[in-house]
């Protein structure tokens, strides 16, 4: 399949969209084994608490991938760091925060997905840059982040996290790997330079 890069668009969710949940679930069914696929109820429960949790990748009008992240309460952060289990479908909406100006958050990047027919074509860079721009857009609104956690469940996911400067924290139940990204002023400067460079080269 030939990809026209000028058709690739990154979008951010700002309103509640039930159809989007169905589209996300369809993508999950193509990528993840059954035990790692979300359910409508799980996504709905989190989405209604925080509308800004999806970075969406489109080829024209076709949704071909997404990155999902949300701010988490400190108790959940501590549990993820200390417990020897995968946190995924067991994260309820009540464990999420709402974004408010002049606050600093810890976030959990729960999934990053590209549908199989679009994999291996270098499109993950759009999701990565979308993540950078997401952080910078929030910073402009005086919403900051101190760290991001994510669990790699595939080799491709692990490669993507490393590209974003996530650092390995521990192995979970001998199956998955927990990563953390420290988000400080140096990291904000770094991603700002990257996005400026990418925009000037387009």
Span 110-164, pLDDT tens digits: 999 999 999 999 999 999 999 999 999 999 999 999 999 999 988 888 999 999 9
Is the model's pLDDT at 172 over the cut of 80? yes
Q: Is 84 exposed, middle or buried (0-12, 13-18, 19+ CB in 10 A)?
A: exposed
Please state whether beta strands 143-152 and 103-114 pair in parallel, antiparallel, or not at all (unpaired). parallel
Give percent above pLDDT 90 in the chain.
76
Predicted TM-score (pTM) above 0.85: yes
Q: What is the band of 61 on the pLDDT scale with cuts at 50, 70, 90?
A: very high
**How many domains in the chain?**
1
Is the model's pLDDT at 200 over the cut of 80? no
Is the model's pLDDT at 80 over the cut of 70? yes
Q: Which pLDDT belongs to residue 199?
A: 61
Domain membership of residue 13 as a residue range? 5-201
Q: What whole-number distance in Å separates Cα of residue 161 and Cα of residue 80?
A: 17
Instruction: Kindly state the average pLDDT of the residues 9-21.
Output: 90
Q: Which pLDDT belongs to residue 1?
A: 45
Q: Which pLDDT belongs to residue 118?
A: 94
Q: What is the band of 192 on the pLDDT scale with cuts at 50, 70, 90?
A: very high
Q: Is 186 exposed, middle or buried (0-12, 13-18, 19+ CB in 10 A)?
A: exposed
Q: Which pLDDT belongs to residue 154?
A: 86
Q: Which pLDDT belongs to residue 5?
A: 66
Q: Check which CATH number belongs to the domain holding 87 and give it.
A: 3.40.630.30
| φ and ψ at residue 189, rounded to 5 degrees | -65, -40
Q: What is the band of 196 on the pLDDT scale with cuts at 50, 70, 90?
A: confident
Span 82-92, pLDDT tens digits: 999 989 888 99
């Amino acid at each position: 399949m030939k990809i026209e890069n000028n058709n690739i668009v990154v979008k951010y969710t700002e309103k509640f969209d039930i159809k989007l949940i169905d589209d996300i679930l369809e993508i999950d069914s193509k990528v993840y084994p059954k035990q790692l696929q979300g359910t409508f109820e799980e996504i709905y429960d989190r989405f209604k608490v925080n509308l800004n949790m999806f970075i969406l990748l489109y080829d024209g009008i076709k949704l071909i991938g997404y990155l999902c992240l949300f701010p988490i309460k400190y108790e959940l952060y501590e549990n993820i760091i200390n417990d020897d289990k995968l946190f995924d479908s067991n994260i309820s909406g009540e464990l999420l925060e709402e974004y408010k100006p002049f606050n600093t958050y810890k976030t959990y990047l729960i999934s990053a997905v590209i549908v199989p027919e679009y994999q291996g074509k270098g499109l993950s860079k759009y999701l990565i840059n979308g993540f950078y721009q997401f952080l910078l857009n929030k910073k402009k609104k005086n919403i900051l982040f101190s760290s991001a956690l994510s669990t790699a469940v595939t080799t491709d996911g692990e490669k993507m996290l490393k590209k974003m400067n996530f650092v390995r924290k521990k192995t979970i139940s001998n199956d998955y790997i927990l990563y953390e990204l420290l988000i400080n002023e140096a990291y904000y400067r770094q991603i700002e330079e990257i996005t400026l460079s990418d925009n000037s080269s387009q």
